[in-house]
Amino acid sequence: MLLLLLLLAPPASSALGQPGRGQAAAEVPARIGNVASDLGIVTGSGEVTFSLESGSDYLKIDNMTGELSTTEQMIFDENECFLDFEVSVIGPSQSWVDLFEGRVIILDINDNTPTFPSPVLTLTVEQIRPVGTLYLLPTATDRDFGRNGIERYELLQEPGGDSVFELQVADTPDGEKQPQLIVKGALDREQRDSYELSLRPARSSQAILRVLITDVNDNSPRFEKSVYEADLAENSSPGTPILQLRAADLDVGVNGQIEYVFGAATESVRRLLRLDETSGWLSVLHRIDREEVNQLRFSVMARDRGQPPKTDKATVVLNIRDENDNVPTIDIRKIGRIPLRDGVASVAEDVLVDTPIALVQVSDRDQGENGVVTCTVVGDVPFQLKPASEGEGEPQNKRKYFLHTSAPLDYEAVRDYNVVIVAVDSGSPSLSSNNSLLVRVADTNDNPPVFSQPVVEVSFPENNSPGERVATVAATDADSGKNAEITYSLEPSPLSSEAPGGIFTIDPDSGDVLVQAVLDREQRDTYEFQVTARDKGVPALQGSTTVVVRVADRNDNEPRFMQDVFTFYVKENLQPNSPVGMVTVMDADRGRNAELSLSIQPGEQDQAAGIFSIENDTGTIYSTVSFDREQQTSYTFKVKAVDGGEPPRSATATVSLFVMDENDNPPAVTFPSNSSYTVLPPSSNLRTVVATVLATDADTGLNADLNYSIVGGNPFKLFEIDPASGVVSLVGKLAPKHHGLHRLVVQVNDSGQPPQATTALLHVFVNESLSNATVVESQVARSLHTPLAQDIAGDPSYELSKQRLSIVIGVVAGIMTVVLLILVVVMARYCRSKGKHGYEAGKKDHEDFFTPQQHDKAKKPKKDKKGKKGKQPLYSSIVTVEASKPNGQRYDSVNEKLSDSPSMGRYRSVNGGPGSPDLARHYKSSSPLPTVQLHPQSPTAGKKHQAVQELPPANTFVGAGDNISIGSDHCSEYSCQASSKYSKQV
């Protein structure tokens, strides 16, 4: 950037002189020019000096030589940038002051790179567009301007691609460069539907231009005019309509539907204005302040909805019309060597009349009459305003004045002047403002008072009497006379803004510091303030020392518990010597006065005596016993705290201890008792209430929430119990087999964790009436000694009688079958003896149908070792059925068993011929007796079975040991009472 310096240099007579100019680079600190040489002032003597009154943020000046230079880099974004400044030329002893204005014009350098709105630009082109069709391309933006802005664009074709596009750059009425794409070759979307080119401003970054070939949308929207201009009053409320942009499109359908969007518009335009996309109405979005923005210039795009869309651009210029909404501002600044800080100007009383002491700048941000300002000094003060320059080109809304002395100043008469300056603008209605300057008249005095110590520390006890002396401070002054006469005052400490007034005072002559209030160390233990000693010179000089008052403690505070009542909750069954709570107590005193001793004080009922103890250091309360909520639910006692002061002070607090329940008690059944019973008639209807089981639990809450259930003794599912109420109801239909005593095992559970349970017996006697209570009571008594796993329900003889009847029927059928077989055998033998002359032992009779039919020839008997034929038994096997006698002895065979029956006569064996039934098969299938297994060969029988050896081998069978216990006393499924009945039938 380059700077052009323009100085207005009126001479001492306030006539306007010729301006001087200079140039310098502003990117780094650089020299701009020399004010002295431009004004023709000779420097070097030191009598004339220069001071930069404004513009010091970016500029600096040598006060002796008048050399003007920059201080740091300056960056501006506007097309025309400048910086105004002021320089004052000060005569000897500030007897005169001249003010000069200057302007630095900042020239642009090419330090910004042009950028596109997006790195990829998409353009749609119809395939039927003829050669020469032109398309507007998005423009790049460059923060630079002029020659450093965008001068031209370049289009880079794809390597080896067809050159079907060409770039043309046109100048717009706004002075911008508009890139345009021209079709110079035939397009065929079916062969190629897109092209990627590179568009860039000359020697800058580039963007990809993506050209998409689409179908027909051959008419672009057209605005009614290319430039829309309107005036808008500043501070217009949001929603205020400004103007309507209208565009037309000859196409129809979506290709003719137009939407309006912002084009090249800054962020402030988009923030302040709203453009209706459909109607084109432009309205206010946020209030616009003309003092921030006086004109909005942007472009609006009309875009149809075709594919691809076509656009037209119009420029909108909005001039913001000024309203009188700004009050004049008054800025009072220093001028020359007169110091001015925080609105106070220190002026020596010996200054000459008409001496400028401050610079007053009055400005108004409004324009025209709204910004014309008149400024005056209010009140009877020895000061007046004079214009700083009388140039005709000075703007009306920005004026500068010198504040001059208009009369001699007298320190002894008036030390301070409050100069009020009022500014009024010429608007309708007019606005005004004011500012004030405190002019402090100073005297000459070069030695301040000095204290011997910079810090004075004092220890002072609390609970004092008002008016007591705390300390005495003294200062000395090397001056003499009035300038050595010292007065003392109190000021806030540099580390604290709190004023000591009201608590401490000081005798201005002796320096005695007095306390005016009662000090409380617990409220504040340290006070710090300054004692200032001022001499009586003109101007007065001063010195100071810091006074630190440390408040000593007294035992004036009782111990204080954090709560009046401490409430604790502990579980029962807690181990002895366990902590049950903690109390907190404090004492606002310090040291021994705050050392506390804690103790347990018995309550009214002496509940805590010997039960609780307290730890002095922590305030923890311990119990010496284990709590039982069922015995006692709460304890109340007091804790006492005594401090170590003289005399000691104490305080008490109440402790309430509540014992929380644990599930340590099982439910207790109160009804019924295990030995009681209830009579239930068999005619009872369903849902008849039989009894109600009542139980209690010494615990509370969920631990005492009981539920009931039947866990045994209900095999017929006749009864059920309500889980919540314990009501036992009849839910099954009673039958004759249900008559008698029923024992229900009822379990009562609580809901604790873990739960506890109790079991009770409910006896129900089902019968029409209670004819013999003694019998029922004896059954109940036997029930109490019967295991719970065994069900007691109804009449046990009912099922037993049915079983016995089945057994009797089966035994009778078996006996009848056996008798029938015996008769058949007897008849067969009888018939055989009738048909033969005799019977020879060992001789085989082929007509014997007890012998099986043999188709093979009989084998000859084998000889023994001596060559003789052995005596062969007639049969090779015998019947060996084992049974038990009634007295527990075993029968050796069925024969012996049968011989005991008087009806069997001499028959010891059971014989049968080929047509007789198979007894073994009969026993297997039909007889209720255990099955008999057949064996092809049986061992030779002993002597007592010799008569049985005549049985034919085909009927030989052997019983399976003890499984055939016909007369056994053992009760099996059919054997109970069977042996006696069977014997009688035989």
> In the predicted model, what is the mean pLDDT of residues 714-718?
90
Q: Whole-angstrom Cα distance, residue 937 to residue 901?
A: 28
Beta strands at 23-25 and 2-7: parallel, antiparallel or unpaired: antiparallel
More confident residue, 411 or 171: 171
Contact 730, 719 (CB under 8 A): yes
Q: What is the DSSP string of 6-63?
A: EE----TT---------EEE-SSS-EEEEHHHHHT---SSSSSEEEEEE-TTTEEE-T
Q: Of the ranges 77-91, 199-213, 770-784, 928-942, which is most confident? A: 770-784
Inform me whether the pLDDT recorded for 735 exceeds 80: yes
More confident residue, 979 or 139: 139
The proportion of the chain whose per-residue pLDDT surpasses 70, expressed as a percent, equals 75
Inform me whether the pLDDT recorded for 212 exceeds 80: no
> In the predicted model, what is the mean pLDDT of residues 335-363?
89
> In the predicted model, what is the mean pLDDT of residues 784-809?
77
Backbone angles phi, psi at 369, to 5 degrees: -65, -25
Considering only the C-alpha atoms of the chain, give the largest distance between any 2 of them, rounded to a whole number of Å. 196
User: What is the reported pLDDT for 916?
Assistant: 34
- Classify residue 875 by burial, with Cβ atoms within 10 Å: 0-12, 13-18, 19+: buried
Inform me whether the pLDDT recorded for 907 exceeds 50: no
Q: Whole-angstrom Cα distance, residue 791 to residue 796?
A: 11
User: What is the reported pLDDT for 846?
Assistant: 39
> In the predicted model, what is the mean pLDDT of residues 951-975?
31
Under the phi-then-psi rule, with left for phi > 0, alpha for psi from -120 to 50, and beta for the rest, what region is 99?
Answer: beta
Inform me whether the pLDDT recorded for 247 exceeds 60: yes
CA angle 874, 875, 881 (to 5 degrees): 140
Inform me whether the pLDDT recorded for 777 exceeds 90: no
Nearest CA among 594, 577, 593 for reference residue 585: 594
What are the E-state strand segments in 187-308?
Answer: 194-201, 207-214, 222-223, 227-233, 241-244, 247-248, 258-262, 273-275, 281-284, 295-304
Q: What is the DSSP letter of 119?
A: S
User: What is the reported pLDDT for 501?
Assistant: 64
Q: How confident is the model at residue 609 (pLDDT cuts 50, 70, 90)?
A: low
- Model's pTM, two decimal places? 0.35
Q: For the ranges 59-63, 372-376, 385-389, 479-483, which has the lowest average pLDDT?
A: 479-483
User: What is the reported pLDDT for 925?
Assistant: 35
How high is the mean pLDDT of the chain?
A: 76
Under the phi-then-psi rule, with left for phi > 0, alpha for psi from -120 to 50, and beta for the rest, what region is 577?
Answer: left
> In the predicted model, what is the mean pLDDT of residues 967-979?
31
Residue 169: what residue type?
V
Q: Whole-angstrom Cα distance, residue 352 to residue 91?
A: 13
The two three-digit tokens of residue 31, written as one number: 């020299």
Q: For the ranges 116-120, 200-204, 769-773, which has the lowest average pLDDT?
A: 200-204
More confident residue, 831 or 850: 831
Inform me whether the pLDDT recorded for 951 exceeds 70: no
- Classify residue 605 by burial, with Cβ atoms within 10 Å: 0-12, 13-18, 19+: exposed
Q: For the ranges 158-167, 786-795, 866-875, which has the lowest average pLDDT?
A: 866-875
CA-to-CA dists, residue 164 to 183, 198, 213, 217, angstroms? 6, 14, 12, 20
User: What is the reported pLDDT for 284?
Assistant: 92
CB-based contacts of 959, cutoff 8 Å, min separation 6: 880, 881, 882, 883, 894, 932, 933
Nearest CA among 514, 416, 403 for reference residue 468: 514
Q: How confident is the model at residue 882 (pLDDT cuts 50, 70, 90)?
A: very low
User: What is the reported pLDDT for 391?
Assistant: 60
> In the predicted model, what is the mean pLDDT of residues 160-164?
72
More confident residue, 100 or 23: 100
Contact 322, 288 (CB under 8 A): no
Q: How confident is the model at residue 195 (pLDDT cuts 50, 70, 90)?
A: confident
CB-based contacts of 105, cutoff 8 Å, min separation 6: 3, 4, 6, 80, 81, 82
User: What is the reported pLDDT for 606?
Assistant: 57
> In the predicted model, what is the mean pLDDT of residues 676-689?
90
- Classify residue 537 by burial, with Cβ atoms within 10 Å: 0-12, 13-18, 19+: buried
Inform me whether the pLDDT recorded for 390 exceeds 90: no
CB-based contacts of 873, cutoff 8 Å, min separation 6: 940, 949
Inform me whether the pLDDT recorded for 900 exceeds 60: no
Contact 532, 450 (CB under 8 A): no
Beta strands at 650-660 and 565-571: parallel, antiparallel or unpaired: parallel
Q: For the ranges 26-30, 203-207, 421-425, which has the lowest average pLDDT?
A: 26-30
User: What is the reported pLDDT for 896?
Assistant: 35
Q: Per-residue b/e over 193-224, b at no fewer than 16 CB within 10 Å?
A: eebebebbbeebebbebebebeeebebbbbbe
- Classify residue 343 by burial, with Cβ atoms within 10 Å: 0-12, 13-18, 19+: exposed
Contact 107, 68 (CB under 8 A): no
Inform me whether the pLDDT recorded for 245 exceeds 80: yes
User: What is the reported pLDDT for 240?
Assistant: 92
Cα atoms in the 13 Å half-sphere on the side-chain side of 326: 24
Q: For the ranges 12-21, 343-352, 572-581, 648-657, which has the lowest average pLDDT?
A: 12-21
More confident residue, 227 or 6: 227
Q: Whole-angstrom Cα distance, residue 401 to residue 437?
A: 14
User: What is the reported pLDDT for 146?
Assistant: 67
Inform me whether the pLDDT recorded for 420 exceeds 80: yes
Q: What is the DSSP string of 374-421?
A: EEEEESS-SEEEEES---TTS-TTEEEEEEEE-S---TTT-SEEEEEE
**pLDDT per position as a tens digit, 562-572:** 888 999 998 88
User: What is the reported pLDDT for 229?
Assistant: 93
Contact 651, 639 (CB under 8 A): no
User: What is the reported pLDDT for 608?
Assistant: 61
> In the predicted model, what is the mean pLDDT of residues 707-723?
91
Q: How confident is the model at residue 557 (pLDDT cuts 50, 70, 90)?
A: confident
> In the predicted model, what is the mean pLDDT of residues 550-567?
86
> In the predicted model, what is the mean pLDDT of residues 864-890?
35
User: What is the reported pLDDT for 748?
Assistant: 93
Nearest CA among 532, 529, 533 for reference residue 549: 529
More confident residue, 198 or 412: 198
Inform me whether the pLDDT recorded for 259 exceeds 90: yes
User: What is the reported pLDDT for 417?
Assistant: 93
All structural domains of the chain, each given as residue ranges with its CATH number in brackets, are: 31-105 (2.60.40), 120-214 (2.60.40.60), 222-321 (2.60.40.60), 329-442 (2.60.40.60), 450-552 (2.60.40.60), 560-660 (2.60.40.60), 668-795 (2.60.40.60)
More confident residue, 51 or 981: 51
458 DSSP β-pair partners: 549
Contact 247, 224 (CB under 8 A): yes
Q: Whole-angstrom Cα distance, residue 625 to residue 628?
A: 9
